[in-house]
Chains A and B, each alone.
Chain A
Amino acid sequence: MENLASNYSHIKGWGIDADPKNDPTYPMRKRSNDTHEGYGDWERPTQQQPEVEVLHSTERPNLSSVFGTSTPPSGLSGMIRRMAFKHSENQYRHWLPLILADRINVVEGIIEDFKSGKVPNIFAEKGMKSDMKHDRKGLAEKAAIVSLAIAAIVVWKYGKKSGSRKY
């Protein structure tokens, strides 16, 4: 160790936390028999009272003593989330519906914006000002690809209509 330390004297703090006891279970699991006593055999903190709908995992019997209340489930996405929470965290039936609900929730968010008189500025929300400043070339490329795609759809549509007129 002494010799090694002199090899690394240019690195401030080299080896100061070296610990031969750092075997694969230390200090991740400071051994304790508390968990053998089962769920909830500890002095539980005061229970937060839910003022909004809070979903909880089927792998626990109750709400945790404290929880977040940022965005309660609502609308169609909320219905899907409620269904998802009937299944264990171990199952795709829990997680895949939640991902689907997230996507539906995005559309609900846009509708909610319009309902409250706000037109979402998607260009600004995507941080395109940063692209304008730091990646003009990339932005121009993306704009060109989108324009081409729109042009291709228009041409395809127009061609289809004029083709149908022939018959």
Chain B
Amino acid sequence: MLAMNYRGPLRVRIDEKPMPKIEHPQDAIVRVTRSCICGSDLHLYNGAVPDTRVGMTFGHEFTGVVEEVGSEVTKIKVGDHVLVPFNIACGQCAFCKQELYGNCHESNPEATAVGGIFGYSHTAGGYNGGQAEYARVPYANVGPTIIPEGMDPDDAVLLTDVVPTGYQAAEMAGIQPGDTVVVFGAGPIGIMAARCSWLFGAGRVIIVDEIDYRLEFAMNYSQCEAYNFKEMDGDVVQFLKKKTDWMGADVCIDAVGAEASGNTMQTITGRKLLLQAGSATAVHWAINSVKKGGIVSIVGIYGPTDNLVPIGNVVNKGLTIRANQASVKRLLPRLIEHVQNGVLNPKGLITHRIPLEEVSDAYRMFSEKQDNCIKTVLIPPSARM
């Protein structure tokens, strides 16, 4: 089968790889129909996540048709078209029982801080991902969800990560009616977080980024205010304080993570020298821009283990910080309802549909923000017939 193959920082290609096989009675094998490149794949692509091994296949956002199931699989059957949440979750451990599916304790032997994630380094379990023609899907009774009849497959694939992560970012922000929300990062997750903030009753939504086309897209898609931090009059935090009557936002959302630009010291120590687990610029801005007593919600991805974070300001301002990988399974019923009712339009984020065979160029385009790229979907050859 064809599959994306990681060869080192900024180098990926398409190769013939062995077909995945059932390795556990609760496994399923799916023939991939759509997969996406996610902003968090870029942390892997840039070589920033420890234990990203050469030869691995990335891709944690995908849909597919079930081809084979293990002996303990009862909830899906061969021929079902399923969307596959990016978390690999057993559904039985203490954390899954709390609906913390992103924190499953039975899917990742290699680290305890994070659960298993498809195609996301050995730090997240060492699973191959869905940027391939076929993928192994463990715990097939828990994660994979049959795509509702009539749902556009492009909507379905964004329900595997982008929509739930953006939604959970807003949910964790504890938004109360009328609140001012600032979202850092106008990538797909930030745009979705801004859109979902309205569902929780935000009174004002502001998004901050450094690239004009992304800001324009966010402004239209999420009906929010948008500002380019490179063109701000003065410091980012000072600018946002001024925009919020010198009080700060009620909540700030970090939808950027380890690749944040905008601060030279963080860029050198976090992104270039890897002395931190990524640049903490967006976290700094969020902590410093939020109102005293406010909430900072973090869905941007950071590596392990140390980061220079202004914890003193968290204490002095009395902040609440909430952060997690999205628990996709918990959120799916509500989000499917929102998509079916037309409240959310996930496929509106997709700007590029690219054959899987052109994965190297797709990564380059997405990474370098070329051709006004917001979200890329890869289509395997078997899904194009």
Contacts and interface: CB of A to CB of B under 8 A. Distances in A.
A122 to B, nearest CB: 6
Given A67-B109, A70-B55, A14 B116 contact: no
B199 interface: yes
B25 A46 contact: yes
B252 to A, nearest CB: 14
A112 B55 CA distance: 10
Contacts of A126: 10-11, 360, 364
A136 B92 CA distance: 52
B139 interface: yes
Interface string B146-175: 000000000000000000000000011011
Interface in B1-46: 7-13, 23-26
Contacts of A14: 198-199, 201
Contacts of B56: 70-71
Contacts of A10: 223
B199 A17 contact: yes
A68 B126 contact: yes
Given A24-B322, A27-B171, A32-B97, A131 B304 contact: no
A122 B116 CA distance: 30
B111 interface: yes
A15 B90 contact: no
Interface string B45-58: 00100111111110
A112 B110 CA distance: 25
B150 to A, nearest CB: 19
Interface string B190-201: 000000101111
Interface in B310-343: 320, 322, 324, 330, 334, 338, 341-343
A134 B112 contact: no
B26 A55 contact: no
B370 A130 contact: yes
Most buried by B among A30, A63, A65, A89: A65
Contacts of A135: 368, 370
Most buried by B among A4, A12, A67, A90: A67
Contacts of B105: 39, 60, 64
Interface in B333-385: 334, 338, 341-344, 358, 360-365, 367-368, 370-371
A159 to B, nearest CB: 31
A71 B305 contact: no
Given A15-B200, A27-B99, A81 B51 contact: yes
Contact of B106 (A22, A45, A109, A129): A45
Contacts of A45: 24, 26, 90, 92, 106, 139
Interface string A21-57: 0111001111110110101011111101001001111
A105 B54 CA distance: 6
A30 B327 CA distance: 13
A69 B17 CA distance: 14
B94 A28 contact: no
Most buried by B among A48, A59, A90, A94: A48
Contacts of A112: 54
Q: Which 10 A-B pairs have the closest CB atoms?
A: A127-B364, A68-B126, A68-B127, A106-B8, A13-B343, A109-B54, A18-B201, A134-B370, A98-B50, A56-B109
Interface of A: 1, 4, 8, 10-20, 22-24, 27-32, 34-35, 37, 39, 41-46, 48, 51, 54-57, 59-60, 62-71, 73, 77, 81, 85, 89-92, 94-95, 98-99, 101-103, 105-106, 108-110, 112, 120-122, 124-131, 133-135, 138
Interface of B: 7-13, 23-26, 47, 50-57, 72, 88, 90, 92-95, 97-100, 105-113, 116, 122-123, 125-128, 138-139, 171-172, 174-178, 196, 198-201, 203, 223, 274, 277, 295, 303-306, 320, 322, 324, 330, 334, 338, 341-344, 358, 360-365, 367-368, 370-371
